[in-house]
Amino acid sequence: MSRRAEDQIGSIADTLLQPTSAAGVYARTALFERVVEGLSGLITRLREPDAEIFRFPPVMSRQQLERSGYLKSFPHLLGSVSCLHGEESDIRALVEGRDPDQDWVAGLSATDLVLTPAACYPLYPLVATSGSAVPVKGLLFDVASYCFRRERSFEVDRLQAFQMREWVCMGTPEQALDFQTRWKFRADGLATKLALPHTVAPASDPFFGRAGKLMAMSQLQQSLKFELLIPVHSEELPTACMSFNYHQDHFGATWGLVTDAGAVAHTACVAFGLDRLALALFATHGLDLRNWPKMVRETLGFDREGYVTTSERPRYTNGTTPRGNTAVTE
Ligand code: 5GP
Ligand code: ZN
């Protein structure tokens, strides 16, 4: 990566993100979040009808993530929630440092929670608990979560904590594959409307260890993953801002998701990395939203001053019957 490109993205990021004492963990400024808000509205407008909406917290059940197979594929990226357990006197001794042999950190022990690594993981068990089969037309979902991954390099577009929005499809192999394919093409058009230089390319996940290399190769060979790449740092090393994933029957078999015809359901997801997309827009169009190309501002629903217009339809209104008995309102 050229020093110049690094300096440029660095100085843009300095205006948009405030560092904390933890590497790869940033406070977002209002300007940055305004673009994230514009992107979120755009994703909502593009969403296919009948998608059911869920917003997940940044933590999820450890047992569910274990069952999903995450520890086999990405143990190096997982963050787990640990707490102090025990009697009040034990905890007090630890935190007040009265026990010279024990740092309070050493007194931590794992809880039943882990940090959510991708927005779609909590969805599969949730759908499975309903016990009903996936209908013939398939199921669509719109989910979002703050995600955590224990990333080793802390460039400004590789954060430990980042905002992910996903659409998920469950159904037959054809439905899941078709979903992956159509959004791969539509994302190409979307990036064009946002005037972002881009390519869509086959990709693989950063599977753990030596066996992981084989898994990555097989993922590439079977065209299970594609990414929307945008040169945020450099042309040579473009940044993955979206991904299009076909999981085959992995989640369906794990969680017992079946179709109406009694077959194991296949799943696919389209992931939007909101922080990376926002950063890519700033890196391409500059820091002053008023100077962004008209087409880009309109696509994001911005007025002339670069504020999201209020004529938006409520973001959480969707066309499907909610799973619970609550009305779907903003
Ligand atoms: P995937 O599950 O395909 O690895 O990630 C989905 C999307 O989340 C990626 O395309 C990317 O936009 C975003 N993402 C993944 N890892 C990171 C990260 O370390 N930092 C940031 N800012 N976004 C990430
Ligand atoms: Zn996903």
Indicate left, alpha or beta for 138 from its phi (over 0: left) and psi (-120 to 50: alpha). Answer: left
Return the ligand 1 atom nearest residue 117 CA: 2
| Residue 277 domain flag | yes
**pLDDT score of 222:** 97
Could you tell me if 74 and 86 lie in one domain? no
Distance of alpha carbon 162 from alpha carbon 32, whole angstroms? 13
CA of 139 to the centre of ligand 2 (A): 14
List pLDDT tens digits, range 101-153: 778 898 899 999 999 999 999 999 999 999 899 999 999 999 999 999 998 76
User: Residue 328: is its pLDDT beyond 80?
Assistant: no
Return the ligand 1 atom nearest residue 227 CA: 10
Could you tell me if 232 and 279 lie in one domain? yes
Could you tell me if 127 and 110 lie in one domain? no
CATH of the domain at 154: 3.30.930.10
Smallest-distance ligand from the CA of 225:
1
Where in the sequence is the domain holding 106, given as residue range(s)? 80-115
Ligand 1 lining (C-beta closer than 6 Å): 118, 149, 151, 157-159, 162, 164, 227, 240-243, 271, 273, 275-276
Could you tell me if 170 and 262 lie in one domain? yes
173 neighbors 265 (Cβ within 8 angstroms): no
**pLDDT score of 307:** 92
User: In 3D, which of 237, 285, 317, 230 has the Cα closest to residue 35?
Assistant: 285
Structural domains in the chain (count): 2
Length of the chain: 330
Could you tell me if 98 and 131 lie in one domain? no
Could you tell me if 106 and 219 lie in one domain? no
| Residue 330 domain flag | no
Could you tell me if 204 and 157 lie in one domain? yes
Could you tell me if 180 and 204 lie in one domain? yes
Return the ligand 1 atom nearest residue 149 CA: 19
List pLDDT tens digits, range 168-198: 999 999 999 999 999 999 999 999 999 999 9
| Residue 311 domain flag | no
Distance of alpha carbon 293 from alpha carbon 152, whole angstroms? 36
